[in-house]
Amino acid sequence: MHLTIQNLTKRYSNGVTALDNVTLTINQGMFGLLGPNGAGKSTLMRTLATLQDADSGTVNLEELDVLNNKNEVRKILGYLPQEFGVYPRTSAFDLLDHLALLKGFNNKTERKELVNFLLQKVNLYEYRKKHVSSFSGGMKQRFGIAQCLIGNPKLIIVDEPTAGLDPGERNRFYNIFSEIGENTIVILSTHIVQDVRELCQQMAIMDKGKVLFNGDTDSALIEIKGKVWERKVEKNELMEFQKSHKIISHKLVGGKPLIHAFSESEPGNGFTKAEENLEDVFFVKLHGIE
Q: What is the pLDDT of residue 182?
A: 79
Q: pLDDT grade, residue 169 (50/70/90)?
A: confident
In 3D space, the residue among 54, 64, 92, 83 whose CA is nearest the CA of residue 155 turns out to be 64
2-221: CATH, from 3.40.50.970, 3.20.20.105, 1.10.8.50, 3.40.50.300: 3.40.50.300
**Assign residue 21 a region: left if phi > 0, alpha if psi is -120 to 50, beta otherwise?**
left
The helix or strand, by DSSP H or E, that contains position 119, with its residue range, turns out to be helix 108-121
CA–CA gap between residue 94 and residue 174 (Å, rounded)? 26
Q: pLDDT grade, residue 99 (50/70/90)?
A: very high
Whether the per-residue pLDDT at 282 is higher than 90: the answer is yes
Share of the chain above pLDDT 70, in %: 100
Whether the per-residue pLDDT at 174 is higher than 90: the answer is no
Mean pLDDT of the chain: 92
CB 119 within 8 A of CB 128: yes
Q: What is the pLDDT of residue 177?
A: 82
Whether the per-residue pLDDT at 175 is higher than 90: the answer is no
What does the pLDDT look like over 134-164, one tens digit per residue?
998 888 888 998 999 998 899 999 988 887 7
The helix or strand, by DSSP H or E, that contains position 215, with its residue range, turns out to be strand 210-216
What does the pLDDT look like over 111-141, one tens digit per residue?
999 999 999 988 899 999 999 999 988 888 8
Whether the per-residue pLDDT at 32 is higher than 80: the answer is yes
> Which are the contacts of 116, defined by CB distance < 8 A and separation ≥ 6?
93, 125, 128
Q: What is the pLDDT of residue 3?
A: 96
Q: Please provide residue 214's backbone torsions phi and psi, each rounded to the nearest 5 degrees.
A: -145, 120
> Which are the contacts of 19, defined by CB distance < 8 A and separation ≥ 6?
8, 9, 10, 40, 43, 44, 47, 54, 57, 209
Give mean pLDDT, residues 40-62. Answer: 95
Q: What is the pLDDT of residue 194?
A: 84
* Dihedral angle over CA of 192, 195, 201, 203, nearest 10: -20
Q: What is the pLDDT of residue 160?
A: 82
Q: pLDDT grade, residue 62 (50/70/90)?
A: very high
Taking residue 218's Cβ as centre, other Cβ atoms within 10 Å add up to 9
In 3D space, the residue among 277, 37, 44 whose CA is nearest the CA of residue 163 turns out to be 37
What does the pLDDT look like over 195-241, one tens digit per residue?
898 889 899 999 999 999 999 999 999 999 999 999 999 999 999 99
Query: Count of alpha carbons within 13 Å of 255, Cβ hemisphere only?
Result: 0
Q: What is the pLDDT of residue 89?
A: 87
CA–CA gap between residue 23 and residue 261 (Å, rounded)? 30
- DSSP 8-state class, residue 171: H
